[in-house]
Structure 1
Amino acid sequence: MKDEIFKKPISKQFEFDEEVATVFDDMIGRSVPFYKENLALVRDLVIKNLQEDATIYDLGCSTGTLLIEIAKKSDKNLYLKGIDNSAAMLQRAKNKAKAFGVDIEFIYADILEYDFSLANCFIANYTLQFIRPLKREKFVKKIYEKLEDEGVFIFSEKIITEDKRLNKQLIDIYYDFKREQGYSDYEIAQKREALENVLIPYTLKENEEMLLQTGFRFVEPIFRWANFATFFARK
């Protein structure tokens, strides 16, 4: 279903409710540059870095697309677990997984409170940015502690740039991208207002430093387009 949520005046801050879940796959594909290509990059890196019987958590898994893609492509036995605090998103994820005939455990929970088992990989695609800064580093530390040695953490984020002029230029270019995807200026402004104080991005450097200070021995940005980036970290 096509995303037309912000064609009408907003009445609340952005949340992943039933209305958003209904159009989410279209929304993220039209709102995140190179979304499909980046998803394939993360999928392939996950598969290359994991052995038989590895456990993978997708934090804020939404409609389950990434885990489904991993399950479809990998020839290994993997324990795939998707966690989200949106029941509407998880229902769509379960329906999609069933349609593709893949075995994925979807868990309705708050990732900040959930007690993870030891895992070989954590994924967080555009999830950390919704965690308040005071809690974000503590949560990344929790991920680090629940990773097996040599385990990997791969995450994508919207980012900001320290140079204010460049930051404004990158945002303008991003809005041009959204217009090319069919969003109007009104829709762009409405969503920007709905996300105010809900999505709080870090700079590229701040994300890297957060990981290193948490204990990860290796951190590398593996993708960037303007104000979007993906990071790979190994314990």
Structure 2
Amino acid sequence: MQNNTFSGLFVGHNLITLNEVDSTNTFLKDAVSKSTPLLDGTVILAEKQFAGRGQAENSWQSEPGKNLTFSILLNPFFLPVDRQFELNKAISIALNDVLKKYFPHSAFIKWPNDLYISNKKVGGMLIENIVQGNKIRHAIIGIGLNVNQVDFPANLKNITSLKQELHQDYHLIGLLGEICSSVEARYLQLKAGSFIKINEEYQHQLYLRDEWAPFKFDGKIQSGKIIGITEIGQLILETEDETRIFNNKEIEFLN
């Protein structure tokens, strides 16, 4: 359905709300694969998502009606496949821009796809790209944000929500509008070629950047300091002996 309450140019103007779905990313991927005509910036919002996915097939658990679980369709045909992490950086900054309105000194981007408030996870995202030639034809951006949920499964550690931190309820659609406007602004910045500025902001907002902290890699716990991200999205870690580069799942944060 059309939604004209969002202030941006296109992200969120076509908002499709589902009562229940396995995964908004899967729903959107299926629609795109069947050539369903969907506008650039279409948002699929789920009241209940029973098989939400995180990075590298991690599950995303969310209490129905309390949080934001949605996917955005973008068509970044201007972006070569070998620069796909630029989109990850732009969307991460966009989400953190919103969180910084509420947590100006404690909102961070945890590499590669999580959103943190101090030392606790408040959200995350999963970007799935559909490639045509050497360009990205469609990007399906799944986002989960803990908003009004305060009870979490005991096995989930270091997790929080906006309400748990600030002790008040938030209007989900209003917050979704803020996120869509922020995503659109950063996406247009990326489209305009502002790669250097986006990279600088992303690196500056990294969780544990330039801080010595414990990590687990090579089968043991070691001390390291994040000093940056490579062009293709690998983590650069300074250890006591050398500088190392890691892909996702090759290193575990222990904070």
- Fold shared, TM-score > 0.5 on shorter chain: no
Higher relative contact order (CA 8 A, sep 6+): 1
Greater fraction strand: 2
Q: TM-score of the superposition, structure 1-length normalised?
A: 0.30
Greater fraction helix: 1
